[in-house]
Chain A
Amino acid sequence: MSAPVNIAGEMPEGDPDAREVVLAARNVAKSYGQVHALKGVNFDIHRGQVTTLFGENGAGKSTLMKILSGVIQPTSGEIILDGQPVAFNNSTEAREQGISIIHQELSLAPNLSVRDNIFMGREIKGPTGVNFAEEERQTRKLMAELEEDIDPLTPVEELRLGQQQIVEIARALSVDSRILIMDEPTSALSASEVEVLFKVIRDLTAKGVSIVYISHHLEEALTITDHAVVLRDGNMTAYAPRAEIDLEWIVRNMVGENYDLGSPPDTALGQSALSIRDLTVPDPAGGFNLVDGLSLDIRAGEIVCIYGLMGAGRTELLETCAGKLRASSGEIVLEGKEVSHLSIAERIARGLALVPEDRQRDGLVQTMSVGENLSLASIASFTKGLFTQRRAERQLVDNSIREVTVKTSGPGAAIGSLSGGNQQKVVIGKMLATKPRVIMLDEPSRGIDIGAKAEVFRLLSEEARQGLAVIYSTSEVSECLSIAHRIIVMHKGRISAEFDSTVTKEKIMAASGESVAA
C-alpha cells in the first residue's frame, strides 16, 4: 500500500531520549476501515520547543494530533511520554498528563460568556458555588497576556471570529499544560494578533512547555518553529530542525511541486461590471461604521483582491453587495443597474454572487448531497413548470463537478465526505453555476491546503479570462500577489491604499495598518 518514501532529514528511530524528547510517536498508524489515515509515523516533540506539522488537507495532521491528545486511539504503534509507553483512552486522560489541544474548529459555547467558556467543565469552586470573581480575574489576566481587549462577561457569539479564536487559545493556556497542541490557531487572526500569539508561544517555550503547531500559513509557521515535520498521504515525508529548512523545502515535501498561485491573466478588461458608490454600512451595535463611504469599480474580466485585517470591513462590504446586510447609504450598481433594493435571490439572478467566508456556517447544507449543494443556487434553471428536471439538473451538476474539479465519488456523496478544499470548490461551483457576471469570494482560501488553493486561483483566473469580474478578500499577503490585477487595502471600513500587481508585500502590509514583522 505505502509507496517507498524518501525521508529528507533524519527520521527519529528507536527509544527517544527522555531528557530531550517529551512525547514521541513510534510507528503510529490509524485506519478507518479501508482508509489508511496514517501509515506508521515516527515523530518527536522536543521539550520546550516548537514542532510544526506541515501537510495538505487529508495528509493526516489532524489525525495524528487527535491520537497524541487522546481523542482517538491508534490502530497500531506506540506513544511514548517521558520515555514510558502510554495509552490514552480519552482526552481527559491526556489532559491529566499535561497534554492539551486547541482544535481547528472552534469548540466554544456561543451563548456563554468568555469567562464561562474558559472555565467550562473545570469551574473554580468557592464556598458558595462557583467563584466567579476569581474566574473573572484570571480571565482578565489571560486577555491582558494576549493583549486583547475583551471583557470576560461578553457572550462569545458577540465576538468576531478572530476574537473567538483568541478565547479558544486562552482556554488552552489557562490549563497549565506541558504539551500544547495548536491546530490552525491563527486562521482567523490578524497579523498583529498573530504577533501576540507568537510572543505568548515564546514565553511558554521559555518556561519549558512544548508546542505542536499546525498551520496552512507556512511563512508564519516558519517564523516560530524549531522543528518541522512534513506529512503527505499519511506518511512522514520529511523531518528536520529549523536551521536546515526553508519555505521551498517544506512546499516541495508537501506537494512535490512548486508553490505558485499564478499571475494575473492578461486579458483586455471590459465594461464596468460592479460599481460601488459611497457605500456606508453602520455597525448594528453602534460605534464606527463597518464600511465607511467606500467607492470601488470593477470591470469585466478584472480580478481585484481586497486585503485587510480582521475587522477591516471586508466581509461586511461583500455581504452588503450580496444583499445580506443593508447599507445605510450609497449605491451598488451592477452593469449599469442599481441593485441595492433587491433581495439576495434577485441579485443572484442579475449575476452578483457571493461565496461566503465560513463555508460550514454559510456555504453548505450539510444534510444535502454534493450534487444538491451544487445545484442549490440555480434551481430555477432546471425547473420547468412545477417540477425540477432531473436530467437538466444532473447535467448542471456534472458540468460543475468537472469545471471546479471536485474530487468526489459522485453527485450523491455526502457533503461531509469531502475534504475542506473540495467543500470550498463545491461552494464556488454552486455560485458559478448561477452564471454570474461578478463573483465575490470572502477568504476563499481559508482552511484549505496549498494544492486546493492553487486550483481555486487557477479556476478564478480562468473564469476572469472569460469575462467574469472577480473580487476576493484575503488576509494573506502572498495571495494578493498572485492572480489579482489590482489590490485594494481596507482599513477601518475605508480603502487605505490601492496597488497594481507589481507592489511589494511590505507596502501592502504597511497600508493595512499592521506592523511589518522584521
Chain B
Amino acid sequence: MSAATTTAAANGKKKADFSIGRLLLEGRAFFALIAIIVVFSLLSPNYLTVSNLLIMSSHVAIYGILAIGMLLVILNGGIDLSVGSILALAGVSAGAMMQGLQIEAMGVILYPPVWAVVVLTCVLGALVGAVNGVLISVFKVPAFVATLGVMYVARGVALLMTNGLTYNNLSGRPELGNTGFDWLGFNRIAGVPISVIVLAVLAIIGGLMLSRSSFGRWLYASGGNERAAELSGVPTRRVKITVYTLSGMLSAVAGLVLASQLTSAGPTAGVTYELTAIAAVVIGGAALTGGRGTMRGTMLGAFVIGFLSDGLVIIGVSSYWQTVFTGAVIVLAVLLNSLQYGRGGRKG
C-alpha cells in the first residue's frame, strides 16, 4: 500500500500547491480504504485480523482481476460489459474439460491436464475478447452495444453448454492425471491465497505495462485523443483490439479462480460482475471518457468495494443495505472524479 502515497509523482505535476485538500482528493481511494478498515475494526474485533484480511483479499481477487481488464478498456475510452459472462463461459468451459472432452468421430474422451485446461480457457476468453475488439474497431460498433451483445451471447452459450446446470465435480481423478484444479482457489503460498498472488502479479505486470511500456503510452494517447494519436503514428486499431482481448483473457482467469474457489462451475456465475469491475475502476479515479486512470487507483478501488461489502457482512448489516452503500460509494467517487478533472482539465 505504500506505493499509494506516491500518487502525485505519477502525475508529476502540481507538486508545488500540495495542500491538504488536494492530497485528500488525489489519494481519495487510499483514504477511503483506510477509513473503511478503521471503521469496521472499531465495529468488529474480527475485522482487522490477518486471516480475515486474507479471506477478504481472496474475494477481492475476482473483482480485481476483472477490474484490471476493465481499466485497460476504459483507458481506451471504451467499456466492456461482457466480462461477467466471459467469466461464466470460461468457468463452464473449464468444468466441461475437467469432465472430459468427448470426440465422437474418434470415439475417445480426452482428459486434458489442468495446465492445459487453464491455457485453453484463457485462449477462449481472449478469443471472445478479440471478437469484441474487432466489432468495435473494425466494424465501428459502439463499445457499449458490441459488448452488450457479446454479454448475452456468452451467457447464452454457457447456459447451453450445461443445459443450465452446474459442474460440481472439478477435482478430476488421479488415474487420469487431471487433479489439482482446486489449487488456484484453495492453496496458499506463505499463508497468502494463490488467488491474491495471481491478482498481485497481474496488477504489477499491468501497472508496468501502463506506466513503462510503449503500449501503455499508446493506450493513454489513443484514449485521450484517438485522432491525434493516429496522426502521431500510434496503431490505434491494434491498441483497441488488444485491450478487449486482454480484458477477455483476464475475465477467463477470474472465471478459473472463481470456479476453483467454489469448486464448481455454473453458467450463472458472475452476473453483474462487470458493473462491480466498472465501479472499481471509477472509484480508482479513472475517467470514463478515457485517457486518465492508474493501475494503483483501480486496485484501491477494488479493495474499497470488497472490504466494504465484506465488512458489512461481518457486522451483520442486511445485504440490501450493502447494495445501497456500494451505490452511494460509486456516485461519490464519480462526483470526486469530476471535481478533480473538471478543475485542472481545461485551463490548468
Contacts and interface: CB of A to CB of B under 8 A. Distances in A.
B212 interface: yes
Given A376-B217, A377-B233, A387 B344 contact: no
A172 interface: no
Nearest to A362: B227
Interface residues on A, range: 35 or more
B191 interface: no
B234 A376 contact: yes
Interface in B200-220: 208, 212-214, 217-218, 220
B217 A363 contact: no
B114 to A, nearest CB: 29
A388 B292 contact: no
B88 interface: no
Interface string A358-394: 0001111111110010011101100100111000000
Interface of A: 322, 324, 343-345, 348-349, 354, 356, 361-369, 372, 375-377, 379-380, 383, 386-388, 411-414, 416-418, 430-431, 434
A372 B217 contact: yes
16 contacts: A324-B231, A345-B235, A365-B291, A367-B290, A367-B291, A367-B292, A372-B217, A376-B234, A377-B232, A377-B233, A379-B218, A387-B212, A414-B345, A416-B348, A417-B347, A418-B348
Contacts of A417: 347-348
A344 B291 contact: no
Contacts of A366: 224-225, 291, 345
A376 B231 CA distance: 10
Contacts of B348: 413-414, 416-418
A416 B347 contact: yes
A179 to B, nearest CB: 26
* Max chain A Cβ within 10 angstroms of own Cβ: one of B218, B232, B287: B232
A379 B13 contact: no
Interface in B328-348: 344-348
Given A344-B233, A356-B228, 13 more contacts: A344-B230, A356-B231, A364-B228, A365-B221, A366-B225, A366-B345, A367-B225, A368-B224, A376-B229, A376-B232, A379-B214, A416-B345, A418-B348
A431 B231 CA distance: 10
Given A365-B225, A383-B214, A416-B347, A430 B232 contact: yes
Interface string B261-294: 0000000000000000000000000010011100
Contact of A363 (B13, B214, B228, B292): B228
Contacts of A356: 228, 231
A366 B223 CA distance: 10
A343 B231 CA distance: 10
B333 to A, nearest CB: 18
A365 B212 CA distance: 18
Nearest to B216: A388
Contacts of B318: none
Contacts of B45: none
A388 B13 contact: no
A369 B9 CA distance: 13
Contact of B227 (A354, A361, A387): A361
B6 interface: no
Contacts of B347: 416-417
A365 B208 contact: no
Contacts of B13: 369, 412-414
B221 A345 contact: no
A411 B345 CA distance: 16
Given A413-B13, A414-B348, A416-B347, A372 B233 contact: no
- Identify the 4 closest CB pairs spanning chains A and B, nearest first: A417-B348, A367-B291, A412-B12, A367-B224
Interface of B: 11-13, 208, 212-214, 217-218, 220-221, 223-225, 227-235, 287, 290-292, 344-348
A380 B234 CA distance: 10
B225 A364 contact: yes
A188 B233 CA distance: 27
Given A367-B223, A387-B212, A413-B348, A362 B235 contact: no
A379 B217 contact: yes
B12 A380 contact: no
B315 to A, nearest CB: 40
Contacts of B224: 365-368
* Max chain A Cβ within 10 angstroms of own Cβ: one of B221, B235, B290, B291: B221
B7 to A, nearest CB: 14
A365 B231 contact: no
A348 B348 CA distance: 31
B346 A416 contact: yes
Given A368-B224, A412-B11, A344 B231 contact: yes
B217 A362 contact: no
A375 B214 CA distance: 11
B234 A388 contact: no
Nearest to A324: B231
Contacts of B11: 412
B238 to A, nearest CB: 10
A270 to B, nearest CB: 25
A412 B13 CA distance: 5
B325 to A, nearest CB: 31
A368 B221 contact: yes
A430 B231 CA distance: 11
A417 B12 CA distance: 14
Contacts of A361: 225, 227-228
A114 B221 CA distance: 32
* Max chain B Cβ within 10 angstroms of own Cβ: one of A343, A345, A361: A345
* Max chain A Cβ within 10 angstroms of own Cβ: one of B218, B223, B230: B230
B160 to A, nearest CB: 40
Contacts of A375: 217
B221 to A, nearest CB: 5
Contacts of A365: 220-221, 224-225, 228-229, 291
A411 B233 CA distance: 21
A434 B346 CA distance: 28
Contacts of A431: 232
Contacts of B208: 387
Contacts of B233: 344-345, 348-349, 377, 434
A356 B230 CA distance: 11
A427 to B, nearest CB: 8
Nearest to A348: B233
A252 B315 CA distance: 75
A388 to B, nearest CB: 6
